[in-house]
Amino acid sequence: MTDKQVYPVSPAVAERALVNKTQYEEMYRQSVENPDAFWGEHGKRLDWIKPFTKVKNSSYDYNNLSIKWFEDGELNASVNCLDRHLETRGDQTALIFEGDDPSVSRNVSYRELYEETCKFANVLKSQGIKKGDVVTIYMPMIVETAVAMLACARIGAIHSVVFGGFSPEAVAARVVNGKSRFVITADEGLRGGRAIPLKKNVDAALKHEPNAKVEKVIVVSRTGNDQVPWTEGRDLRYEDLMKEASVDCPAEPMNAEDPLFMLYTSGSTGAPKGVLHTTGGYLVYASMTHEYVFDYHDGDVYWCTADFGWVTGHSYILYGPLANGATSLLFEGVPNYPDSSRMGQVVDKHKVNILYTAPTAIRALMAQGESCMDGTTRDSLRLLGSVGEPINPEAWEWYHRVIGNGKCPIVDTWWQTETGGILISPLPGAVDLKPGSATRPFFGVQPALVDNEGNLLEGEAEGNLVILDSWPGQMRTIYGDHDRFVQTYFSTYKGMYFTGDGARRDADGYYWITGRVDDVLNVSGHRLGTAEVESALVAHDKVAEAAVVGYPHEIKGQGIYVYVTLVQGEEPSDELKKELVQWVRKEIGPIASPDVIQWAPGLPKTRSGKIMRRILRKIAANEHDQLGDTSTLADPSVVDELISSREFR
């Protein structure tokens, strides 16, 4: 029913837009019919030290997988984000820093950001960091984080940003997997008025992990809390190092296929994987999607509320906007601090024109009621964006009507850590909107739907979402495990990239993402593997077995529902539930806190011992009238037991 609701492109939006309907169709056609010509042209949006002569070189053949873009070109990402703007916009604001405390903000010009970056790049060099080294960045949302990322890019070091909400255990695992010898952190972060003990977490991570071979920890002073413990010889103060550093730092010429960064994300099995992105294709794609999807015009103030710890922060706070010479707002805090009008306050204060946020934030505001926008006008807004999880039509309408005053188009952007940039999204001047649909593919992107056997589905259909050919921003490998890369994305459906998502295509060719079809959860737009949470739980000595599934959650999109079997002799209790929640927070981080724990004397398993998650998902969602076939279970009676002891929420 809701797909009948259409918001046509308004004449005012179409008039100023970079691309109108006819242009979109024409450019899309060119992009898939002749990708070499299309991307050869658009690749020139960057400054190349050595221009590329080759454009696309890719094969999705499972036995001969290869993904290369602009492979003989050389460039440097930090030069594209900074140096090349100095002449034309050196004094323009590159980053607006809005502090956790609403009275704190500052503007950083392109020249200032350039100078800080060059100085810090020299600092990194003086500490022995070289091209190809992996540098772990565990930081709050402050300007120095952008400086650290760009400084790595300048000298060719591979940054690996770890979200500041992850626990010491999670930091340790990522440091070890990335063989990272350097960590950049801050004394503390500030979020919602509370201090986050980042340096202390780093210390804990390195202390308990014998395999972590970290030589240097550079610590930025954010709160100035000098109670943070100090390891002489290893720990260095950012401010001290910067005092001596020169602003002259020639950029390292990087091959287009040299790594720019890695970023850990959750899969359906095993430990998080280090998604590796390279330099040329990624930056072309991030900057181009940023310009076209957000219809970015010179002088616009753009605010993406993501964190640098996620891919959205990489592509759409830092690399895309800065490559385009944009003004990008960077927010340290949370949308409900000091109160739930904060988002509107920030928009008004900095005259934000483009706001890009997540459905979970919108639903949380919605739950507060419309009065949460009282006292703010949001008149400056022209365009809204959504990312991270499916946006339900109700939240879409609320976002449009309340936050956007009914006058801003919403771009619902579907993409993944793996894709580097947005793959499916309306272009505001070209595509009529339908609330809840990510609509049509970006240039060069060929989405398709397949059934479980891999047969392509035509026309109106629902199935597994695959992409048929490569685009420049695609990940190139999983750091240190290329086989896993090939297996994870290219073995399920031969000759295609499998996204892990399900989708429906309507009669107009619009895509409606229905959510993950694998064992990946999306909790408040954060990606988590059920396997990760399960392995954290079974590491507790009272837990014999655990199964984790997602269930529909009004604000978070998905909540975490946990079935726990205790070891013999242990008694279930509310205390123990609390202990297990704390345990998971400690092992992974607060984002992985279970919402519901159900004691399970047994779990539904096939005769070969495989847990039937389908059944557990139905019980968690309170849909136990739709369990389907349970006859293959080793012991069907477990199911009745679980239903009758189900947790009520």
Residue 211 one-letter amino acid? N
In the annotated binding site for ATP, the residues are 388-390, 412-417, 501, 516, 527
In the annotated binding site for Mg(2+), the residues are 538, 540, 543
Nearest Cα to 424, choosing from 555, 355, 514?
514
CB of residue 415 to ligand WTA, shortest distance in Å = 5
- Tell me the pairing of strands 596-599 and 557-566: parallel
Q: Which is nearer to ligand WTA, 110 or 356 (CB)?
A: 356
Closest residue to bound ligand WTA by CB: 417
Q: Which is nearer to ligand WTA, 108 or 384 (CB)?
A: 384
Residue 237: partners with Cβ closer than 8 Å, 6 or more residues away: 218, 219, 221
Q: Which is nearer to ligand WTA, 97 or 396 (CB)?
A: 396
Q: Which is nearer to ligand WTA, 92 or 514 (CB)?
A: 514
CA distance 2 to 504: 14
CA distance 95 to 329: 6
DSSP state string for 157-221? -EEEE--TTS-HHHHHHHHHHTT--EEEEES-EEETTEEE-HHHHHHHHHHS-TT----EEEEE-
Q: Which is nearer to ligand WTA, 115 or 389 (CB)?
A: 389
CA distance 48 to 52: 8
CB of residue 395 to ligand WTA, shortest distance in Å = 12
Strands of the sheet containing 301-304, edge to edge, are: 105-109, 93-98, 327-331, 301-304, 354-357, 383-387, 410-413
CA distance 598 to 620: 9
CB of residue 465 to ligand WTA, shortest distance in Å = 9
Q: Which is nearer to ligand WTA, 390 or 429 (CB)?
A: 390
Q: Which is nearer to ligand WTA, 174 or 605 (CB)?
A: 174
CB of residue 81 to ligand WTA, shortest distance in Å = 20
Residue 274: partners with Cβ closer than 8 Å, 6 or more residues away: 160, 174, 177, 178, 262, 263, 264, 478, 479, 480
Q: At what angle do helices 198-207 and 168-177 cross, to 10 degrees?
A: 60
Could you write out the three-class secondary structure of 308-375? CCCHHHHHHHHHHHHHCCCEEEEECCCCCCCCCCHHHHHHHHHCCCEEEECHHHHHHHHHHCHHHHCC
Q: Are 537 and 548 in contact (CB under 8 A)?
A: yes
Q: Are 548 and 534 in contact (CB under 8 A)?
A: yes
Q: Determine the Cα angle at 485 with ends 483 and 489, to 5°.
A: 125
CB of residue 578 to ligand WTA, shortest distance in Å = 29
CB of residue 520 to ligand WTA, shortest distance in Å = 7
Q: Determine the Cα angle at 608 with ends 642 and 546, to 5°.
A: 40
CB of residue 487 to ligand WTA, shortest distance in Å = 18
Which residues are near ligand WTA by CB under 6 A? 265, 310-312, 386-390, 412-417, 438, 499-501, 513, 515-516, 522, 527
Q: Which is nearer to ligand WTA, 119 or 526 (CB)?
A: 526
In the annotated binding site for CoA, the residues are 191-194, 312, 336, 524, 585
CB of residue 500 to ligand WTA, shortest distance in Å = 6
In the annotated binding site, the residues are 191-194, 312, 336, 388-390, 412-417, 501, 516, 524, 527, 538, 540, 543, 585
CB of residue 141 to ligand WTA, shortest distance in Å = 17
CA distance 108 to 494: 48
Q: Which is nearer to ligand WTA, 306 or 372 (CB)?
A: 306
